[in-house]
A and B are shown apart, each in its own frame.
Chain A
Amino acid sequence: MERIVAADGWTLLRMLESAADRLESNADSLDALNVFPVPDGDTGANMLLTVRAALEAVSSASAPASAAAVSEEMARGAMEGARGNSGIILSQFFRGLALVLTGKDACSPADFAAAFVRAESFARSGISDPTEGTILTVLADVARALASFPSSDGASFTAVLEAAVAAAATSVERTPSLLAVLRESGVVDAGAKGMLLILEGFLGSLGDGGSRAERPAPRAEAAARSPLEARSASPRREGSYGFCTEFLLSGESLPLASIRGRLEQEGTSVILVGDGATARVHIHTNRPEAVIEYARSVGSVTRLEVQDLDKQCAAVAMPPHIAVISLVEGDGLAAVFRSMGAEVVVADPRAGWRDPGEIARALGRVSARQVIFLPNSDSARESAQRAGVPEGTPGGTTVRVVPSRTVPQGIAALIAFRFDKGLEDNVSAMTRALGAVRTLEVTAGTADPVLALEGLLAKEETGSVEVVTIYQGAGASESVVESAAAACRRFCPRAAVDRVPGGQASPLLIVSLE
């Protein structure tokens, strides 16, 4: 290994180039670690851009050789080009280095150590909310480790870099113990890791540079593996948000319209932009593997990213102090209510609402101290009363019933929930919402369901209806539902018509008009 006693300008430049390379190979996985302060996944890119800005400033200056000149150019470039929180703090490292090296031809081990001390104090004074368990901690830990570094003659620059890398590595491993959000997400801090990579890059530039870490697998493959493994390990619960799946699709004359149609069957939030040669695809789906397989059948897939949305959207749907419990029949309807944040009690198809124990158990499941019940049918409401769910305060929980008599009323009430309002205001708003929706029901066993529906529609004022939702019962065939949808569009020309697989045993069709 090359034994350098002090780093001159050219060495500093080589160190920085090596750091840029190391960051570049790892930028994607750094982005994947990014959960603090904002999980916007750009720490890797930001630190790389900051380092590149520092490099460009040196390259564009006339050939300098002194450490003072090079570090000053680096600092100027880094501070002008600093991106993101991590980039800004990183630029303070360069600033510290430049300050320490003023007037010097080469950077000694002591100078390097001093740079970290300066950097930490600059960075800390400039951050409004300095947090431990981040790049700040790495700067502090390295500064501390290097302060006790033997400064005897002959101590090599290589040795001080090795000590810095070791201290940084330990510091990075510690970050989850210092910052709860890292611990919860099972990651180390992205900015801290980025600083470690930079130091490893510095070390790596000095000849053999110690152990060369394995180039990590590209993020796409790693991500595509884990959600699929997770799926076989733990089956998705209903109402799961699925996986956010994104990729670039390339091919020849890609049939975008039919691709979109197919994607819309596989999930929600479909975004498809581009042309016949390249399109950016985005979808939320429970079956990312099916989407990817389909995409590969029509073109080639690159830049694949799959993210588990349940982890990201684990935030509470309703404020923790109010829970809404909805009583429903049918798995499809249950999924709809759950997807909108309600706790759901599903009726036993055979017993109907004869088991009031279910309702009492649901009350026990929610942790909120205030509960709103949506019965969604008269029989459910009676059953709730038999379960001893009167308005009142059983066991310290305040329970109120919003007397929805149909599924559409229950949905309308749930939609009317206001996150900034308290229990009574919400009960009022939700009860008012019951009157804003009209429900039409076609019972199972009707000879001609579509004709029956048309008869019902004809009796309503439909010209100003904006939204029609058809909840399909278990016994409704595809052709019946399509004809029903067509009838709704005819009677309600201004409306968007939504179809939802409700799966209820009865009625055959529930149609809401809003």
Chain B
Amino acid sequence: MPVKIVTDSVSDIPAAIARELDIAVVPLVVRFGEQSYRDGVDLTSDEFYEKLRTSAVFPSTSVPSPSAFAEAFDAASADGSEVLAITLSSKLSGTYNSALQARTLAARAGRVEVMDSGWAAIAEGFIVMQAARAAKAGASLEEAMEAARGTAGRVDFLAAFDTLEYLRRGGRIGAAAGLMGSLLKINPLIDLRDGLVHPFGRTRSRAKALDQMVSFASGFSSIEEMAVGHAACAADAEALVERLSSIHPRERILRTRLTPVMGSHTGPGLIIVAVRGRTP
């Protein structure tokens, strides 16, 4: 039985790849006061950062409604496919719960499974893409789930932030709160541990933060897939890609842009490198 993959917009999968792998993306919602926008659908990243600069209120974000997931499940199963939905870490967002609720709402009788990727951003994206590739190659629902589970243990990312303020405001800062309050200007580095935001380290300059990201990526004994993403700092991203091209072919480094929903929680200036591969 064919399998279709559904995910949320936080997975940052480039549109072309989502089309090619037949991945349905359900958008989260970003709100400026009373105005709501579907992530990447009603508002582009550029428009978002412009609004961020000029709006009188800070944005907030919301999960997709169960109905939105249910519609995606119904559309995916219209041809009789079974559905595998993979969401961002349930410890960071209620998106996983919303998808679970949607299972009972979907009108068709087909099978729907929902998995918590335990990750976010393009690391989540890698997990979704591997499951989608398996599905495209004819995997069963169980096999696709196994592919996702296996990939979850083989991805990691490191992100350099300009400020932790957005993370704090959005309530996701977790243990990284310890990095705040420094009287010296520092550049925080963040990763995820067990699905939660975790402090990695800090540097005294942006340049040194990028150094750390290069050595993080270089620490993998084998690199199968790599991505560099950013929030409103394309030049830094290009510079990082350039440096990483010495360990992974430049044309195979995926370029992603953080969606408005992610950008609400990171603020502009975020740069991330994600790797799927083996750590020593």
Binding site for B on A (CB under 8 A): 37-42, 45-46, 49, 79-85, 87-88, 91-92, 122, 125-129, 239-242, 244, 246, 248, 268-269, 271, 273-274, 278, 280, 282, 284, 303, 309, 312-318, 335-336, 339-341, 411-412, 415-420, 466-467, 469, 496, 498, 500, 514
Contacts and interface: CB of A to CB of B under 8 A. Distances in A.
Nearest to A240: B181
Interface in B169-206: 169-172, 174-175, 177-186, 191, 193, 198-205
B200 A339 contact: no
B184 A340 contact: yes
Nearest to B53: A273
A88 B171 CA distance: 19
B177 A269 contact: no
B71 to A, nearest CB: 9
A2 B65 CA distance: 37
B203 A415 contact: yes
A374 B268 CA distance: 35
B264 to A, nearest CB: 10
Contacts of B100: 126-128
A239 B180 CA distance: 11
B101 A84 contact: no
Interface of B: 29, 53-58, 60, 62-63, 65-68, 90, 92-94, 96-98, 100-101, 103-105, 116, 163, 165, 168-172, 174-175, 177-186, 191, 193, 198-205, 207-208
Given A38-B171, A282-B165, A315-B178, A128 B105 contact: no
A269 B94 CA distance: 29
Nearest to A303: B57
Contact of A496 (B63, B104, B205, B208): B205
B65 A79 contact: yes
Contacts of A415: 186, 201-204
Nearest to B103: A126
Contacts of B182: 339-340
Contact of B60 (A45, A127, A315, A419): A45
A341 B168 CA distance: 18
Contacts of B179: 317
A312 B168 contact: yes
A122 B104 contact: yes
A498 B184 CA distance: 8
Q: Is the interface of B mostly helix, strand, loop or mixed?
A: mixed
Nearest to B180: A313
B199 A419 contact: yes
A419 B97 contact: no
Contacts of A39: 171
Contacts of A316: 175, 178
B58 to A, nearest CB: 7
A335 B183 contact: yes
A88 B181 contact: no
Given A239-B181, A339-B183, A514 B204 contact: yes
Contact of A84 (B94, B168, B174, B177): B94
Contacts of A38: 92-93, 171-172
A128 B97 contact: yes
Q: Chain A CB within 10 Å — which of B116, B185, B200, B204 has the most?
A: B204
A271 B166 CA distance: 11
Given A39-B171, A79-B67, A273 B54 contact: yes
Contact of B101 (A126, A268, A273): A126
Given A88-B98, A91-B66, A128-B96, A241 B203 contact: no
B56 A278 contact: yes
A280 B165 CA distance: 15
Q: Chain B CB within 10 Å — which of A40, A282, A416 has the most?
A: A40
A222 to B, nearest CB: 19
Nearest to B166: A271
19 contacts: A40-B171, A42-B60, A49-B62, A79-B105, A80-B65, A84-B94, A88-B65, A88-B66, A91-B66, A127-B100, A269-B165, A312-B177, A315-B177, A336-B183, A336-B184, A340-B184, A340-B186, A415-B204, A420-B198
Nearest to A40: B171
A316 B193 CA distance: 16
B41 to A, nearest CB: 16
